[in-house]
Chains A and B, each alone.
Chain A
Amino acid sequence: MTVAFPQFMPWMLTPEQMQDQWMDFSRKMAHLPKALEVARKVRVGATPSDAVFRLDKLRLLRYVTDVEQQFSTPLLVVFALVNRPYILDLRPGKSVVSHFVNRGFDTYNLDWGVPTDGDRFLNMEDYIERYLDTVVDQVRSRTGSDRISILGYCMGGSMSAMYAALHPEKIKNLILLAAPVDWSNREYLLAKWTDASVFDVDKLMQVYGNAPAELLQGSFQLLKPVSTLVEKYFSFYENMEDEKFLEDFFAMETWLNDNIPVAGEMFRQFVKYCMQQNKLIQGKLRIGDRVVDLRKITCPILNLTATQDHLVPPELSLPFNDAVGSTDRKSINFPAGHIGLAVGTKANRELWPSVCDWVAERSEPA
C-alpha cells in the first residue's frame, strides 16, 4: 500500500518520508540562529577603495591593490542612480571590479551618493555635463591619460552613452552592461507601466520631489513577483544549512534592500524623454543646449546584455551598436539575468575574463 499509492500520487508522502521531512525541518530550524548570525555579520564590498574626490554628494572611489598596473588607460565604472554601486564589487568571487583590478587596470567607481529633498532639481545636464564630466576630468588629470575607458551599468550605461556622444574625445573604450538605449519596444513590462497613458511622471515629481526609493523597489519586485517574493524564500529554506549560500544570499539581500531615491528632475527627464518618448536613439535628446547624437561615438564599443534580463531586455540595448559611428563594436548576449550579469558565478567565470581581454587589447600599456 505504501509503495503503490505514491506511484499514482507522488505528492503523497509515506510515513517514513514525512518523518524525514520533519527531521529536515527540525534541523533547519536548529540552524536558524546560525543563519541570523550570518545575516548580522555579512559584509559587502570585496576590494578596498579610497575616496579620491568628492563633489556635492558624489564620491569617486579608486580601488587599492598591490597588483602592478599594466595599463595606463584607466577604467571608470558608472553605476545607475537607482541602488548602490557596490553590486559591482559585492563579494570575493562575485566582483566585476576585482577582475579589472587584478588584471592591472587603474579602476575607479563613481558613487553618486544619496539625493535628499534639496537635490530634487538636479537634472540630466547636472548629472552628465557637470558631475560625470568633472569626474572624467578628475580621472584624466589623476592618471595623465587623455582618454579613459568607461563601464556603464544599466541606467549608468545609458548616461555613459550620452556622455560619450557629447565628449567623444575623452573616451577610449565604452563598455555598456545591460544599458537601455532604445525604448521602441513597448511590450516589455516596465514599458507598459511607465507608458505616458498610465504613469504621470510630472505629477509624481511635483508631489514627491524625488522618486521615492520604496516606489522603485516595489516596482522592481513586482516585475517578477513569484520569483522575488516566493521562490527566493523556498530556495533560502532549502539551503539554510549552507553557509556559503547564506553569505551570498544576505549580501545580495543587503544590496537589494539598500534602495535610494532618484533626484526628481533627473528621474522625470529620464522617464519622459527616454522611456516614454524614446528620444535618445532617435538623436533628439537634448542635454542643456546640446543634442545627444550617438553617431559621434567613434570609440570601440562592447555591449553586454543578458538573455533573461526582465528589467532591460536585450532588444533595448542591442540597437546601440547600429546607432554609433564606431567601426569596432561587439555585443555579447550572455545567458543570465540583469543582476546575474554582474554577480553570477558563470558570468564571473566566463564573461568577465573575456571582457577584461577585450578592454586590455584596446588600452594603452603602462
Chain B
Amino acid sequence: MGNHETNEGGATGDPFSRFWLDLMSKMSGTPFAPTTAQVQDDAMKRMRQAFFDAWAKHCDEFLRSDTFLDTLKKSMDSALAFKQELNEFLTKALHEKQMPARSDTDSILLVLRSMEDRVLERIDRISKRVDALESRKSASPPDSRSGKRQSKGVPQ
C-alpha cells in the first residue's frame, strides 16, 4: 500500500501502474505457507479476492474520474439526440399516413390531466364548503379532506 500511495502523485502514477502496484502489494500481503492442498486452496482464494478488491477499487476510481464522466455525458447526449431524431422522423411518417403519433396521445393526456385537475379542485372546494357547513351544524371536528386530491379507487 505504501508504494501505491507514493506513486499516486509520482511519475509512474498512470492508472494501470497504480492498479498493478496495488494488486501486487495486496497479493504479496496475502500470507501463504502451502503445506497442504487445503491451505493452498485458501491462499489462492485470498489472492483472487485481493485481485478483485484491487480491480474493484480501480474501477471505482475510473467510474468517478473526469474522463468517464465526460464520456458518459457525450454518449448520453448523442444517444438522446439520435432517439429524438428517430422520434421526430416517426412522428412525421405517422402524420403523413394520417395516423396519430406519440405527441398526439401526449396532448390528449395533458388535456385529460388538466380536466381532472379542474374537476378535483372543484370537488375539493365543494368538500371544504360541506365540511364548513357540517362543522357549523355540529360541534364535532370536521373530517379533514381539504388540501389534497381525493381518489376513489376500488375496494376489493
- Interface residues, chain A, CB within 8 Å of chain B? 6-7, 10-11, 16-17, 20, 50-55, 117-118, 120-121, 125-126, 129-131, 133-134, 138, 169, 189, 192-193, 195, 197-200, 203-204, 206-209, 222-227, 230-231, 234, 290
- Output the nearest chain B residue to A131 by Cβ-Cβ distance: B151
Decide: A189 and B64 in contact? CB cutoff 8 A.
yes
List the A side residues contacting B69 at CB < 8 Å.
192-193, 195, 198
Chain B, range 41-66, C-beta contacts under 8 Å to A: 43-44, 47-48, 52, 55-56, 59-60, 63-64
| One of A52, A169, A226 near B59 (C-beta < 8 A) | A226
A121-B109 CB under 8 A given contacts A226-B56, A290-B147? yes
A198-B72 CB under 8 A given contacts A138-B155, A207-B83, A231-B52? yes
Decide: A54 and B83 in contact? CB cutoff 8 A.
no
List the B side residues contacting A195 at CB < 8 Å.
69
A208-B83 CB under 8 A given contacts A6-B40, A10-B47? yes
The A-B contact count (CB < 8 A) is: 101
| A129, B110: Cα distance in complex, Å | 19
Most chain A Cβ neighbours within 10 Å, of B44, B105, B144, B153: B153
Task: Looking at the assembled complex, report how far the CB atom of B141 sits from the nearest CB atom of chain A, in whole angstroms.
Answer: 11
In the complex, B99 has a CB within 8 A of chain A? no
In the complex, B135 has a CB within 8 A of chain A? no
| One of B40, B55, B72, B155 near A193 (C-beta < 8 A) | B72
| A345, B48: Cα distance in complex, Å | 25
List the A side residues contacting B55 at CB < 8 Å.
226, 230
| A230, B48: Cα distance in complex, Å | 12
| One of B32, B59, B72, B109 near A10 (C-beta < 8 A) | B32
List the B side residues contacting A226 at CB < 8 Å.
52, 55-56, 59
The stretch of B3-11, B13-21, B73-81, B90-98 that contacts the partner chain: B73-81
Q: List 9 A-B contacts (CB under 8 A).
A: A10-B40, A10-B44, A10-B47, A20-B37, A54-B153, A54-B154, A117-B105, A207-B87, A209-B102
List the B side residues contacting A117 at CB < 8 Å.
102, 105
Secondary structure type dominating chain A contacts? helix
Task: Looking at the assembled complex, report how far the CB atom of B85 sits from the nearest CB atom of chain A, in whole angstroms.
Answer: 10
List the B side residues contacting A207 at CB < 8 Å.
80, 83-84, 87
List the B side residues contacting A130 at CB < 8 Å.
148-149, 151
List the A side residues contacting B155 at CB < 8 Å.
52-53, 138
| One of A7, A189, A231 near B63 (C-beta < 8 A) | A189
List the A side residues contacting B47 at CB < 8 Å.
10-11
Task: Looking at the assembled complex, report how far the CB atom of A217 sits from the nearest CB atom of chain B, in whole angstroms.
Answer: 16
Sample of 8 more A-B contacts, CB < 8 Å, known A20-B37, A53-B153, A193-B72: A52-B155, A52-B156, A121-B110, A131-B151, A134-B150, A134-B153, A192-B64, A290-B147
Decide: A230 and B37 in contact? CB cutoff 8 A.
no
A11-B60 CB under 8 A given contacts A133-B148, A198-B69, A230-B52? no
Decide: B56 and A7 in contact? CB cutoff 8 A.
no
List the A side residues contacting B142 at CB < 8 Å.
none
Q: Would you give the 0/1 interface string for B114-137, flagging 1 where the beta carbon is closer than 8 Å to chain A?
A: 000000000000000000000000
| A343, B63: Cα distance in complex, Å | 28
In the complex, B33 has a CB within 8 A of chain A? yes
Task: Looking at the assembled complex, report how far the CB atom of B15 sits from the nearest CB atom of chain A, in whole angstroms.
Answer: 15
